[in-house]
Structure formats: C-alpha cells, structure tokens
Chains A and B, each alone.
Chain A
Amino acid sequence: MHPARKQRLQIVLFVMVFAAVAIGLLVFALRENLNLFFPPADIVAGKAPADQQIRVGGYVVKNSVHRSSEDLTVTFRLTDGQAEVAVRYKGILPDLFTEGEAAIAKGRLNDDRILEAVEVLAKHDENYTPPEVSDTAIKPHDY
C-alpha cells in the first residue's frame, strides 16, 4: 500500500478505536442510569430512591389485579420472580395490560411501600403468534 494511504488508514483506525473506547467508557459509566425501570427486587432491597418518581417494571402477578367498584382505581402487584411491589393506579390501563404479562408503572412509593402510579405502560414481549396457535405456543411467564 502507498505510504500516504497507509498513514491515513492508520489515522482512521485510530479515530475509530478512540471513539469506540471513549463512548464505551461513557456508556459504561452511565449503565445504571440508562435503565428505564427498576425490577421489584431493587425496590425491596432499597436501591431505588424513595423520595422521587421512579419506574418499576415486572410481570403482573396472576389474580393480583383488583378494580375499584367506585372509580378507575386499580391495584396490582409486579414481580420479577424474586420480589413483589404493589401498585395503585387511577386511570385507564393500556389494552395489552394483562395478568401474567409485563408492565411498567411510573410513580412514587408511599409510606406503605405501595407505588402510587401516575402512568402504567404495557411491555410487549418479542413473541408473535396467530390466535389459533397461541394456546399451544410460547406461554407468558406463570408468575
């Protein structure tokens, strides 16, 4: 290879490696902060800040969803298999919110360690199945 080209190639490779290392370190330093939500285990272990708004994500525990008969208040529990967090939310849940499926709740923990949610989102998994085969195909987690 021509020496001038070789030198330019070396500079380009250096820039690539340097940029990759710099951005890699940046992302590594931010790794905890880049998580969208806390799993319930972190909440129970006290790793989540208690006095500010947080998001909790997990599977909606079977038979834990209770709807109020007077208003739109709904309570349910989220689990990651290790711990559970109770959530209270007043509002309309997304269509895909179901027991056994994943959901993310945003809000503050009150003194009773219940998350007073201001927003609940349904988290869809990566599985796609037609209705007629969904009974036999991959099942949602049985928590």
Chain B
Amino acid sequence: MTPSTASSVREPRVKAKQRPGDRIFAGSTLTAGTLILAMLAAVAAFLVIQSIPAVTTDPGEIPILAGETFWSYVAPLVFGTLWSAALALLMAIPVSIGIALFISHYAPRRLAQGLGYVIDLLAAVPSVVFGLWGANVLAPAVQPFYSWLTETMGWFPLFAPPASGTGRTILTASIVLAVMVLPIITALSREVFLQTPVLHEEAALALGATKWEMIRTAVLPFGRPGIVSASMLGLGRALGETMAVAMVLSASGGINFALLTSSNPGTIAANIALSFPEAFGTNVNVLIATGLLLFAITLVVNSIARWIIARRKEFSGAN
C-alpha cells in the first residue's frame, strides 16, 4: 500500500531518479511486511484445519476427552490460563512501574544504568531455568507460609485449605510468571517515562509540586498508554508461557479460585506441552484446537490493548 500512495504524492514534482538502492530497500521492506502477515495466516490456517476434527468427531471416540465434550475439557484450561496470567500481572505491574520510576527518576545515574542491565539480563533467562527455580527452590520455600495462611486466613476463599504439601500451587506459578514478565514491563515503562517532556516536569515542580506529585501529574499520565501496552506484552508472555508453568504448577483440578491447594486448573500451553508427547490420532487435534483457542484469546487481548491505547492517545500529552 505504502509505495503506491507515496508515488502518487511524488508524481507532480520533478521525477526523482530511481536508484537501485531505493528499489531494493523498498522491495525488501515490502517483503518483510508481507512475510509477517503470511506467517500469521499460515499459523492460523494450520490451527483451524487441524482443529476441525476435534470438534466434528464424536467426543466418545477421542480418548483424551474421557467422555466429556471438547468445551468442558477446555474450560478449566482457559480459566487457568487467564487466572494465572491475571495474578501474575497483578503482582508484576506495580513492581515494574516502581522499578521503572526508580531507574528513570530516583536512582543516581550510574546505579540506574547498572540496574537497567540487570533487568534486561532477567529477560534473557530461559523459561526452563525459571521453571527449575520455581519448582525446586521457590515452591519448597513458600510452602510453610502457605500452610500458615490456610490455617490463619482459611475463611478467605482465595486461601481456602487444604494447603499444598509441596507449594507447587497456582500462586507459585503466578509468582514465577510475574518474575518472567517483570523485565518486559519494566524495560518498556522505563523508556516511556524517560520520554516525558522535561518542560512538563519542570512546570510541575515550578508550581510547587513535590517529586511524587510531579510524577503523578506529569510522568504517569504521559506514560499511561506505554504502561498499558507494556502490560499487554507482558500478558501475552504470561498467557503463552509453557515450560515454566508445566514444571511448577500441579495441575490436577478444575475451575477453582483457591490459590494454595494442590488442585489447580492447568493452563492451555502447559497442557499441550504435557499431553502432546504421548498424543496420537484425534487427541492431537484436540490439543491443537486448544492451541487455536489460546491464539484467539491472545488476539482478543491484544485488540483490547490497542483499543485502550488508541482511546487514551489524545489525553496522554504524547502529541
């Protein structure tokens, strides 16, 4: 699209000489742009085609469903996926904004730089490592705390007993997910906060605002769309995370809001990873169909994020 509109604008002027570099560059960017669409379409087509048998076949003939319908099989997984990702974001966003503000506005410059590197390093740790850490270090460490919570706060539905004997609950999985999405949200928010026009900040300070008031009136409103899109990127990672959840979470229950028991809902991605190695025949189609659902959920989440960012644009001061 872009090249044609560009050329129509250019036409009345003196015709620019077309250098080979221009053509090659325009062509390669066009290819790159088309490629991403083609790949997305290919993935979507694969998912849809492979999913059809899962819905059309009689559920009684698909061993993995164990006599249930496809929807009752996938419902706890969808719930677990959304629930764990939401919990993770709930923990990660405030901490990330705190770190980002500290780096951009509070820390001495040298410390800020070092901290930035460390955060970026956290983003490079493979998810298997997070999974190992969560299952072998974090879970046993928090288990006594979980027992204590269920004993003293058991009346609160989220902390309903019995406590897991190993600590491998959905709360632990969400903590691991929170640690994994933390660097993404922090890095993006930090960049956005650093973009705040200095004039705005100085104006706020000149009007007598304290540093906190300056951040509240100048930095945060300016950065809000950035925070939202950073959070959505983080959410995307939390929704799709496979290995870490598969290793940390004890997925042996249905839809259940209790955070500290052994019976937790699984997540779509982790369930595919766990069930795929031994799956065959229509079982594979069922798993791919759950993957399609995850694809759709991610798409919806991203669209909502786009919509929020677009809606907020005029108030953000970014223009």
A, B: real partners? no
- A residues at B contact (CB < 8 Å): none
